[in-house]
Structure 1
């Protein structure tokens, strides 16, 4: 990709296409475009995350950080139809497609927003993410410290990270920040990390 997928307004010429999200419990055809993460196929890390995590909470507000065109957030919404799902991304082109994909899939319990548009008082019962590791360690740490402290007491996050892109060091860093973290799955050089809320942090909403 000629331009980083985390640009707010990609200059990459539009080249629409679609990918199929096929999981044991759902099948969605999702519209994608140039200038966003993994537009030609469902990213392997995203697939591993969606195939290995436990079911999301049935209620509450669920968050997908770095939602792109929506595969994780839409899976959350389909698996927890009584919950409210928020997908956040800086990429406006991806957000617009995520909204279109939700409408096509008949999903009414998911919203797709820029980070600044999320109500700062909202707390999350679960967070799923294939985080944008390539933004750099400092920016990644800032991103995670923006959202993980907003987990409700007892809330949990699941992150998928490639081993060679620092999954083990990220696990150690999260522990050091007070978020108990453990590996729950390992496949094809990817690690799925379970991250618990800091003790006594956050307030239910």
Structure 2
């Protein structure tokens, strides 16, 4: 089986590059590399999530499966009073995200290599959780992100998810409805859907 981005320590040879992108009317630069998700450009799903996500001030935010960091770094840039934690199982992705936070002069950020939520403190809770889930890792991993979010969110907190219809959006929506009190479809475009699931 070919190695993919949901890998703790990618063995594929490094091939770094820099991409430039405008997100939420701000200009960003990101180092990317082989062995991480969407290395040549920020994927459409992540861009759509960034476009619609709501980041409150003075809040704790978690980006699950952060890759090289565009979602979490953009969230941190939108609300400098909030603290954003980025987690990913992929060590190369975390190293890139760390460099990208510095590259974009973002300091209200924390990074952890973590298999889903395993490296977080047991009682740590968040106001917002953001995820473009690793579909290629399988439904069990994706649903673990959803169920973990239900436990990790504060009452009134929200999980924001982007997922393609052809990659399981309808079944993902049904799973979210089981776990959360309120689930809404915030946007849909080019086969991608943005769901906001609210706790309590």
TM class by shorter chain equals over 0.9
Matches within 5 A, 1:1-205: 2-53=2-53, 55-115=54-114, 116-197=118-199, 199=200
Per the normalisation by structure 1, the TM-score is: 0.91
Q: What TM-score, normalized by structure 2, do the two folds share?
A: 0.93
* Per-residue Cα deviation, 1:93-151 (whole angstroms, up to 9, x for no partner): 00001000101111111111023332222110001111111211122112322233211
Q: 1:17, 1:107 → 2: CA distance?
A: 20
Distance 1:24 1:140, change over 3 A: closer
Task: Give every structure 1 segment of 4 or more consecutive aligned residues whose post-TM-superposition deviation is greater than 6 Å.
Answer: none
Query: Given that residues 150 and 180 in structure 2 are in contact (C-alpha distance below 8 angstroms), is that contact kept between their aligned partners in structure 1?
Result: no
Q: Distance in 2 between matches of 1:68 and 1:21?
A: 16
- Equivalents in 1 of 2:21, 2:132: separation in Å? 15
| Higher mean C-alpha displacement, 162-171 vs 108-117 | 108-117
Relative to structure 2, which stretch is displaced further, 79-88 or 139-148?
139-148
Task: Measure the CA separation in 1 of the matches of 2:39 and 2:150.
Answer: 27
Long gaps (5+) in structure 1: 200-205
Question: Aligned residues, how many?
Answer: 196
Structure 2: unaligned runs, 5 residues or longer: none
Q: Cα 1:47–1:178, aligned 2, differ >3 Å: closer, same or farther?
A: closer
Q: CA 1:24 to 1:56, structure 2 compared with 1: closer, same or farther past 3 Å?
A: closer
RMSD over aligned CA atoms reads: 1.3
State the SS of the aligned residue for 2:8.
Answer: coil
Are the structure 2 counterparts of residues 129 and 108 from structure 1 closer, same or farther at C-alpha, using a change threshold of 3 Å? same
Contact 2:30 2:100 in 1 (8 A): yes
Q: Deviations over 1:64-120 (max 9, x none)?
A: 010000000001100010011001100000000100010111111111102333222
